[in-house]
Structure 1
Amino acid sequence: MIKTQERTELILQIIDRLDFATYKQIMKIMDLGCYRNVTRVIKQITEYLNETYIHSYEIKGKVFYLNTSGRKLIGSTNEVKQNQQIVHTLLRNEVFIQYGCPEDWANEVKLEYEVENTNQIIGLIGSNSIQQNKYIIPDAVFRQNNVLQLVEIDHTRHMVDNQKKLSRYAEAIPQLKKKLNHTPILKIYTTTEDRKKKWKDMCEKKALISEVYTFSEIK
């Protein structure tokens, strides 16, 4: 009985951390072996779960998230509701699992940095150099071999918007390097080989240290 309760709470804690989770994601993290095992385990804890169904090119099937009873059981205040970001969240989970569920993984962290803004002022004052505070928010961050990894999930965003965000990375990364004493690595996950090539070309033009993958490359 204790083992069953412990397993129930562990699964709920995993789903709570992921926000949304598929059968496959729970199976991988819990090392449940096969689809039959994970469906049996989830069936035993449905009283603590909400479920929905996703049918996209990358993700298909049932998706689970905690209901009020599930949150109360594990003491979570993370209330999750269905929204248009479910597939984006699930794809980010795939990357999280791909890297072995890093303990220091954090979603959507605001990374602050400063840039020097030089304004030429005519008159006796001459030129003024002003430090401007800025920030960038990756989809996730974690450390690998003590190097900060910046994760971007490109699912439905227009390439024009991707170009704008990459320009912000090109501004932010040199400043983050000064604070960290190393250069963060940008890891980009996208949907197609064509978009992968465009990302690689953009990163090369910006001279950014980066790795670009398609979601189909995740094992």
Structure 2
Amino acid sequence: MGFATREQLQQVHALGQKRNALKILQGMSEWLNVRRHPERDCANVYYLNKEGCRMIGSETERKYTSEVEHYLMRNDVYIHFNCPDDFVVEREVAFRVGHAEKIIKPDARFSYDDKICFLEVDRTQSMAANKKKIERYAELSPLFQEQFAYPPVIIFYTLTESRRERLYSLAEEHGVKVMVLSRYDLKTV
């Protein structure tokens, strides 16, 4: 997960009530960094410090940046879809259209209801960039349909209703079916 709120950790690790979760996190404080996160009503965000990384054998030490909300939004979807075992983050998917090789790099890829899903977290992305992604998925869809006998499940997770409407409109223009979720759908506001 990289970064997580207490609520997310409670859900993923079944930590029980708030008091118990806070007690567990306090007991782990020597291995954690904690920062208040303004985009989530100043909720604490937890991530491993250098000692914590070393303890679990990770060479990736996280730094708190403006991208933290992107991680948290990806976590929201991970939890919403019941923590799929095959949830893979930011791994390229290559495919051929004619003689050209094309690449899509979704924010995550996972299976749900025996179907492969591609997640795109739409936080600060420009609509022009979203349009390019949707165009790329439009190129992938027939190939995917041919190989798997169903179109790819493309999920956008966005912050506002106006962005949701625009994403549906772009997808319709390009003949791509998408599911657009917002914070209201996942109850993270």
TM-score by length of 2: 0.92
Is the Cα–Cα contact under 8 Å of residues 33 and 49 in structure 2 kept in the other structure?
yes
**Where do 1:16-165 residues align within 5 Å?**
18-56=1-39, 58=40, 60-116=42-98, 131-165=99-133
Is the Cα–Cα contact under 8 Å of residues 134 and 176 in structure 2 kept in the other structure?
no
Cα offset, 1:204, TM superposition: 1.7
Cα offset, 1:181, TM superposition: 4.0
Structure 1 residue ranges without an equivalent (≥5)? 1-17, 117-130
Relative distance call for 1:166 and 1:26 in structure 2 (3 A) is same
Q: Distance in 1 between matches of 2:134 and 2:160?
A: 18
Cα offset, 1:185, TM superposition: 0.7
Cα offset, 1:71, TM superposition: 1.7
The code of the aligned residue for 1:157 comes to Q
Q: For residue 5 of structure 1, what is the aligned residue in structure 2?
A: none
Q: For residue 12 of structure 1, what is the aligned residue in structure 2?
A: none
- SS of equivalent residue, structure 1 residue 189: strand
Relative distance call for 1:95 and 1:60 in structure 2 (3 A) is farther
Is the Cα–Cα contact under 8 Å of residues 140 and 150 in structure 1 kept in the other structure?
yes
Q: 147-156 or 67-76, which moves further after superposition?
A: 67-76
Give CA deviations for 1:10-34 in whole Å, capped at 9, x if unaligned: xxxxxxxx00011111111122222
Q: Distance in 2 between matches of 1:144 and 1:45?
A: 32
Q: Distance in 1 between matches of 2:144 and 2:41?
A: 34
Give CA deviations for 1:157-209 in whole Å, capped at 9, x if unaligned: 12222112211111122223334343211111111111111111111222212
Q: For residue 142 of structure 2, what is the aligned residue in structure 1?
A: 174
How many correspondences in the alignment?
187
The code of the aligned residue for 1:97 comes to I
2:157 matches 1:189: yes
Give CA deviations for 1:53-91 in whole Å, capped at 9, x if unaligned: 2101x5631111111211222222332222221111111
TM-score by length of 1: 0.80
Runs (4+) off by over 4 Å: none
Structure 2 residue ranges without an equivalent (≥5)? none
- SS of equivalent residue, structure 2 residue 125: coil
Q: Distance in 1 between matches of 2:46 and 2:15?
A: 17
Q: Distance in 1 between matches of 2:65 and 2:183?
A: 21
Coordinate RMSD, CA, aligned = 1.5
Q: Distance in 2 between matches of 1:49 and 1:180?
A: 42
Give CA deviations for 1:128-181 in whole Å, capped at 9, x if unaligned: xxx111101111010112211011111111222211221111112222333434
Is the Cα–Cα contact under 8 Å of residues 59 and 87 in structure 1 kept in the other structure?
no
2:185 matches 1:217: yes
